A and B are shown apart, each in its own frame.
Chain A
Amino acid sequence: MSKEKKYMSISPEVIIPGVMPKFKIFFLAPQGDFVLWALEGNRVTVQQLAKLTKSGVQEVFVDLTERFKYEEYIEIHLGKILENPVCSIEQKADIFSKVSTYVVKAAFETSFGSGSLGPALVERTRRMIKNALVFLTETKALEPLAQMVGHDYTTYEHATKVLWFLIAFLKDNPAILENIEPNYKDLTEIQITDLLTHCGVAALLHDVGKVFVPSDILNKPGPLTELEWEIVKRHPLSGLAMFIGTEIPEFVKKAALQHHEDFNGSGYPFGLRGLDISILARVLRIIDTFDAMTSRRPYKEALPPKKVMDIMIRTPGKNTRKASQPAEDQDLTMKECFDEELLKGFIVFLGKLNLNE
């Protein structure tokens, strides 16, 4: 090889038999050379793949300059990859997180200039979620989800985790889905998929309005000034604004708009109280808080899940909340922020995840 090339390792399980990738696949020869294995345009057959797996090869390689093609491939074929019995659950979790992250990133970044998401991005988000639904509701997928708890907090990974938690939680609690959609019991499978997909869009894009909050405010290590806090508080409104002109249903818009409303009426932007807050927003309020508190932030360490649950269920004591700080950053007791019944349900659900102390 004349030129020094750079390669990224991918799992061979990701390549779907019969679905032609547009990138070249290499493998690493025992001598340390990268050897072209499947040329662009070559169909990878089941036999070839089986041979590769039998040979004990754990990874194949893609030229880094073709990374974009690889990412496109796993996004388009996400549904098939997640259905592939050859692929391990960890692999699937990894692929799903990657794709979900690209999609959120695209939604956040490309909509900044126009101030709106646009139908194409919404469609892309919806397709990704639809492809992932079956996987996200599998019981064994709870294990990789549990492993993601405690990661660093990045906006895109946070969105992915909230999506995952939400779908798994809703699937586990059909009563909530019935509350969201009163005709739930009469829905066909396809309609249920659509409903869950809509909920997933709310989860993935609930924070999209944060693109209008300067990142030095979002990542500020110290307490926020009054002005900064007012700017942060605008993000659910901006998020709603970005949904305009898309076919996102009203209950999804409401969920994004109200995901910082507190059950006791002390939330924002409207200070809605109790059941005036839409059910999906009340669920998101819980999951959003749980994931934020169990993640490491530039300005605070990750808290263990058990401690987070403690804080979330305890009633406020002597400590009073500073008005100009998000409650989840003050680690105070937060019980009154949540719908108690939903919170109980969520804690039962978390029990199934076998989270580390």
Chain B
Amino acid sequence: MSDERYMAIPPSAIVPGAMPEFQIYFRSPQGQYTLWAAEGHKVNSKQLAKLTESSLKEVYVDLDEQFKYEEYLEANLGKILDNPAASVDQKAAIFTKISTNVVKNTFETSFGAGSVGPNSLRRIENLVKNAILFLTETKSLKALADMIGHDYQTYEHATKVLWFSVGFLTDNPSVLEIIEPNYSSFNENEKKDVLHQCGVAALLHDVGKVFIPVEILNKNGPLNEVEWEIMKRHPLTGLAMFVGTDVPDFVRKATMQHHEDFNGRGYPMGLLGLNISILARVLRIIDAFEAMTSRRPYKEAMPPMKALKIMIGNPAHKSGESDPDTEDRDRGMISCFDDDLLRKFILFMGKMKLEE
């Protein structure tokens, strides 16, 4: 038997009481894969406890059953994230995997129809709900910090923007009050719902990119005028994909306006300052920060502190002077953001103990 047929999974991904439809193997010290729990067997907490005591870090799933495994994770995500046996790091890894799958799937299935279907939206909402449950444990902020600097992928990007957005908004209820003027008089469920919808905006802000040809999205080098025009269409396309869904207006606005700059130089409308919806102004910041701190095919990841410095702009830095350390393009960012929100975001980042 060759190793490649199995994928390692954390035992804590299997939650007591939720029956997996795939087979679980473990690896003997001799390197043999042995069937531990067959499809349809209930794994009980005793068995799991035994497994944990045995200090096994990994169990295995047949690669042919990867799809079933992912389905299982998605269906039981809430329980997994709630499972005290799982470490925060493992939870973060599982969550990212699921989130990436769901977003990828939403992007792909929306492509043909030109709109985000109700099923996809329900999945996204469910995901966001679980994510929020998870993120409200402050411990998870550390896991979030660890995510920064991972390789960039559109879907992963969306997940990270979701994490930051929900984390930031939870930390800043005053921003939520601007998003939803009645927020302070809402009950707990209604408040959560506002946060969920913000999460939907964060996850789907780039969904319009499915209509940008891959050659343009992944082009290694500067875009020409036509390509740039097509690229700039994605916030509008994203908005169009929400037509006929029950997504609230503030989510639509956030998607459509997440590339508007505070100084009026953004796209697609060139809106100025407070004409840009607040959630879009938040996303503009998080989107930019996440993009800068991620590795892309054409650039290395930037350390978070450096990214933040560029976003604030260096006051000691007079225009015209050149700084070999900072690209002109980056220095131009200073007036793209809502200053007040940017300050709040930096305070929030301070709590995450980022590495230099």
Residues of A within 8 A of B (CB): 114-115, 212, 226-227, 230-231, 234, 237-238, 240-241, 244-245, 250, 253-254, 257, 269-272, 276
Contact = CB atoms under 8 A, between A and B. Distances in A.
Interface residues of A, dominant DSSP: helix
Given A254-B243, A257-B240, A244 B226 contact: no
B244 A250 contact: yes
Given A115-B269, A254-B243, A270-B114, A237 B252 contact: no
A237 B229 contact: no
Contact of A237 (B113, B225, B226, B233): B233
A257 B114 CA distance: 11
Interface residues of B, number: 23
A270 B243 CA distance: 13
B205 to A, nearest CB: 15
Contact of A230 (B230, B237, B244): B230
Nearest to B233: A234
Contacts of A238: 236, 268-269
A257 B79 CA distance: 41
B192 to A, nearest CB: 24
Given A212-B269, A250-B244, A269-B240, A241 B230 contact: no
B211 interface: yes
B180 to A, nearest CB: 14
A245 B254 CA distance: 12
Given A114-B275, A244-B253, A230 B243 contact: no
Contact of B256 (A244, A254, A271): A244
A253 B247 CA distance: 14
Contact of A227 (B113, B229, B249): B229
Interface string B195-216: 0000000000000000100000
A227 B225 contact: yes
Contacts of A270: 114, 211, 240
B229 A245 contact: no
A244 B237 CA distance: 14
A245 B271 contact: no
B291 interface: no
B278 interface: no
Interface in B226-249: 226, 229-230, 233, 236-237, 239-240, 243-244, 249
Given A115-B275, A227-B229, A234-B233, A241 B244 contact: no
Given A212-B268, A237-B268, A240-B240, 16 more contacts: A114-B271, A115-B270, A115-B271, A227-B229, A230-B226, A230-B230, A234-B233, A238-B268, A238-B269, A240-B239, A240-B243, A241-B239, A244-B252, A244-B253, A254-B243, A257-B243
A269 B252 CA distance: 18
Contacts of B230: 230
Contacts of B236: 234, 237-238, 240-241
A201 to B, nearest CB: 15
Interface in B38-62: none
B139 to A, nearest CB: 38
B244 A254 contact: yes
A33 B271 CA distance: 52
Nearest to B252: A244
Contact of A272 (B114, B225, B239, B268): B114
Nearest to B224: A227
Contacts of A240: 236, 239-240, 243
B249 to A, nearest CB: 6
A205 B233 CA distance: 21
Contacts of B268: 212, 234, 237-238, 241
Nearest to B256: A241
A182 B185 CA distance: 39
A237 B269 contact: no
Contacts of A271: 114
